[in-house]
C-alpha cells in the first residue's frame, strides 16, 4: 500500500503563518465587521452558501454568535472566522513513496 510522504512545503506553509491561520489572515482583511447572510457576496466571502449556513444554524452547528436585525441574520466577523477555522483542514498532496523512488 502506498504511503503518502509529507509534503515538502508542509513545514513552511503549515496551516499557520505568523501565529495566525491562513483563513484568519484572509478574512480579517476582506470581511466586514458583520457578515450578513443576505449579502449577495456571502458565498464568495465565506466559501459556503448562506442557505447551508442557515441549515447548520438550525441544527445548532453554525457560528456561535449571531446578530438579528429584524429577520436578517448576520455573524460577527470574529465568530465566523473562529467557526470556519474549526471546520477547516489542510490537505497536502504529494508523491507517494513508490513515486519518490
Q: Per residue in 42-83, pLDDT tens? A: 999 899 999 999 999 999 999 999 999 999 999 999 999 999
Q: Which of 18, 21, 34, 6 is nearest to 91 (CA)?
A: 6
Domain ranges of the chain: 10-100
CA–CA dist 52, 58 (Å, integer):
10
Residue with cell 466586514: 32
C-alpha span between 98 and 4 (Å, rounded): 9
Residue 86 vs residue 51, higher pLDDT: 51
Cell 503563518 maps to which residue? 17
Measuring CA to CA, which residue among 27, 22, 28 is closest to residue 92? Answer: 22
Angle 6-90-64 (CA atoms, 0-180°, nearest 5)?
A: 150
Rounded to two decimals, the pTM is 0.68
Which pLDDT band holds residue 9 (cuts at 50, 70, 90)?
very low
Amino acid at each position: 500500500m502506498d504511503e503518502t510522504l509529507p509534503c515538502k512545503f508542509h513545514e513552511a506553509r503549515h496551516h499557520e503563518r505568523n501565529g495566525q491561520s491562513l483563513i484568519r489572515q484572509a478574512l480579517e482583511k476582506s470581511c466586514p465587521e458583520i457578515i450578513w447572510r443576505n449579502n449577495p457576496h456571502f458565498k464568495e466571502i465565506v466559501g459556503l452558501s448562506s442557505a447551508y449556513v442557515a441549515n447548520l444554524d438550525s441544527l445548532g452547528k453554525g457560528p456561535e454568535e449571531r446578530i438579528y436585525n429584524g429577520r436578517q441574520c448576520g455573524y460577527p466577523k470574529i465568530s465566523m472566522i473562529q467557526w470556519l477555522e474549526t471546520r477547516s483542514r489542510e490537505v497536502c498532496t504529494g508523491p507517494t513513496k513508490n513515486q519518490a523512488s
